[in-house]
Amino acid sequence: MRLLVVAVGRLKAGPERDLAARYRERAAQLGRGLGFSACDISEIPESRARRPQDRCTEEGVGLLAQAAGAAVIAYDERGRSDLTSEALAERVAGWRDAARPALVVAIGGADGLDPGVRTRADLTLSFGAATLPHGLVRVLALEQVYRALTILSGHPYHRGNLDDR
């Protein structure tokens, strides 16, 4: 299974880009032993349409173009914020075990996600009610992918529920 983060906009050089690259590299390295062939990032150009709705639609087409046959996790302010890292790892393992060719993590632009992306998504998540910069969302999404892989591998990065100790 290929892991692919598809995001609207380009991260400029700086700490967010460096941290995103670090989590992507960690996920790619750990994922090889778990049946994940790659962990890549694809940046979709920001739309130049005048109306926000048109920008979302245009960007949504770009996001969905890379999701054919893939399991899709969409990050959106209307998404679930109650899914644990363990539950996310179980979902990722289920998609992998069902022979889905890829897991696409979709991150929209400044105007949000097109409704078509949310409809197509297998899972829509949110990092809470606060509005976050897109660069930070990308870092957090990649960290969660890496964390899910550490849970699947039994790696101590994720220390889980303290009640079990």
The radius of gyration of the chain's CA atoms, rounded to the nearest angstrom, is: 15
Is the distance from CB of 42 to CB of 4 less than 8 angstroms? yes
Strands lying side by side in the sheet with 2-8: 38-44, 2-8, 102-107, 71-80, 123-125
pLDDT band (50, 70, 90) for residue 162: very low
Mapping DSSP to helix (H, G, I), strand (E, B) and coil, where does residue 74 land?
Answer: strand
Residue 165 has pLDDT above 50, yes or no: no
> For the residues of 47-64, what is the DSSP string, one character each?
P--SSHHHHHHHHHHHHH
**Mean of all residue pLDDT scores within the chain:** 93
Multiple choice CATH, 2-160, 3.40.50.170, 1.10.10.60, 3.40.50.300, 3.40.1280.10 = 3.40.1280.10
- Apex CA 9: angle with CA 24 and CA 142, to 5°? 20
pLDDT band (50, 70, 90) for residue 160: low
Phi, psi of 84 (to 5 degrees): -75, 165
**Measured between alpha carbons, how far is 81 from 72 in angstroms, rounded to an integer?**
16
**What was the pLDDT predicted at 32?**
94
SS (H, E, C) 112-128: ECCHHHHHHCCEEECCC
Tens digit of pLDDT for each residue in 103-159?
A: 999 999 999 999 999 999 999 999 998 888 889 999 999 999 999 999 999 988 877
Is the distance from CB of 54 to CB of 47 less than 8 angstroms? yes
**Measured between alpha carbons, how far is 43 from 131 in angstroms, rounded to an integer?**
20
**What was the pLDDT predicted at 156?**
82
